[in-house]
Amino acid sequence: MAENNDQDETLRVQFPSVELFRSEFQENLAHGVVFVTTKDSVSVHESVKVMIDLLFCGESLIFDGSVVSVLAQGLEESRLAHGISIQLSDNVNLLRSRLEGLTGVNLEPTVEEDHDERRASVRMPARGTVKVVTQNITLTGETMNISYSGALLSVPGAIVDPSTKVRVVFTNPITNGEFEIEGQVVRHTGFENGLMAMGIQWLYRIERIDEVMAFIDILAGYEHARRLGSIEGDFRETGLGNILEMFMNTSQSGTLTAYCGNDEGVIGFKDGNFCYSELGIVRGIKAMARMMAWNEGVFRFQSGVAPNKVPKDPEPFDSVMLQSAMQADELGHLHLDELALADKFHVDQQIFGQERFEMTEQEVFIIDLVKEGYPLRGILDLVPEPDVQIYRTVLSLRERGVLERIR
């Protein structure tokens, strides 16, 4: 990280020593990213110019870039300084080449015997929306990590058999355009929250290698920039709702990711409005209510929200917070000691046959899911109504003898 000492439109990053330059290159510039400590007013996705001022050799370079994350004023106590993280427009190889040519400093990573093979398989964090297209279906999910040889995706929906040929369609986080890479499914693993981890191996044509690797560098660099400008902490004492309100009051827009056990939830907001919330395959207020009920965990906040996550007619965030808090509070008053998320049930066909035509649509749907072998967690995820309503329905079906827990 470096300080902006310029007062004009160009942001300046100064390196007084070659040691500081090497360190910053390895940590950030090698990913095409730089963090600038500045109080200049900029917005996420704004195009900027950055001067890399190499004081130790009397040279400088100016790069175009895009603002990925802004650490808003009022949050400085959480970081060393207020500033912005920027993804530079040059691809990482060109960036390295330009800096090496100007400084004479060797910035190549240490070469090992199997360097090329290892480099291709190195997994880099990269979170973003993707579409997985087969001959029969199209699934929408998110990247978990990516490498030059493949990717690990989080996808809800149907199982895609290993060896199935697919097209993975990414969204460029800077331009919002689409980029497609051919591949095949090599493995998949089911998660408790209804999602599926899908491993993809790339099968693109050799003549595409440069453009594919450059795009993967963009995805990895963007994620690096987001994390560079993020704030992390524990919400056990403060509460996730209070943490969220704090960021709402100090940031124009942002994305809060929270972790509790094996669960990961995401909430996005912009201009005082609710954009989205996701928890596994669950969306909206229902997902947010579950997160508000968490008593412990950790969070990561990043300024800005992905453009494709901003709805056309957003709801006021205060209204969504109130609804989710009420659902979480109602759920806390239910006596659920006898139920566990992993519980499965048996349907008493005789009692079901007697009551079938007097049951609500929700009751029939729950029974159908029970017959298909879904545990309570799956039922909660797939039935669209709030969790508290589903719990009450399951408890009622058990009291009437329609459902019996399998021990």
List the end-to-end C-alpha distance of the chain, in Å, as a whole number: 57
pTM to 2 decimals?
0.74
**b/e 178-211 (16+ beta carbons within 10 angstroms → b):** ebebebbbeebeeeebbbbebbbebeeeeeeeee
Q: Is residue 339 part of a domain?
A: no
Is 245 found in the same domain as 216? no
Is 135 found in the same domain as 221? yes
Measured CA to CA, the distance from residue 321 to residue 329 in angstroms comes to 12
Is 377 found in the same domain as 363? yes
Is 127 found in the same domain as 213? yes
Phi-psi region of 297 (alpha: psi -120 to 50; beta: other; left: phi over 0): left
Q: Is residue 170 part of a domain?
A: yes
Is 192 found in the same domain as 178? yes
Burial (CB count within 10 angstroms: exposed 0-12, middle 13-18, buried 19+), residue 400: middle
Domain tally for the chain?
Answer: 4
Measured CA to CA, the distance from residue 62 to residue 49 in angstroms comes to 7
pLDDT, tens digit only, all 407 positions of the chain? 455 544 457 899 999 999 999 999 999 999 999 988 877 777 778 899 999 999 999 999 999 999 888 775 455 444 445 678 899 998 888 999 999 999 999 988 765 544 455 555 688 888 888 999 999 889 888 888 999 999 999 887 667 888 899 999 999 888 888 999 999 999 877 655 566 788 999 999 999 999 999 999 999 998 898 888 788 889 988 889 999 988 888 887 889 999 998 888 999 999 989 999 999 889 999 999 999 989 899 999 988 887 778 888 889 999 999 999 899 888 888 888 788 888 999 999 999 999 988 999 999 999 999 999 889 998 999 999 999 999 999 999 999 999 999 86
Phi, psi of 316 (to 5 degrees): -60, 135
Cα–Cα distances (Å) from 18 to 37, 51, 54, 183, 251, in that order, read 20, 16, 8, 42, 36
Q: Are 305 and 342 in contact (CB under 8 A)?
A: no
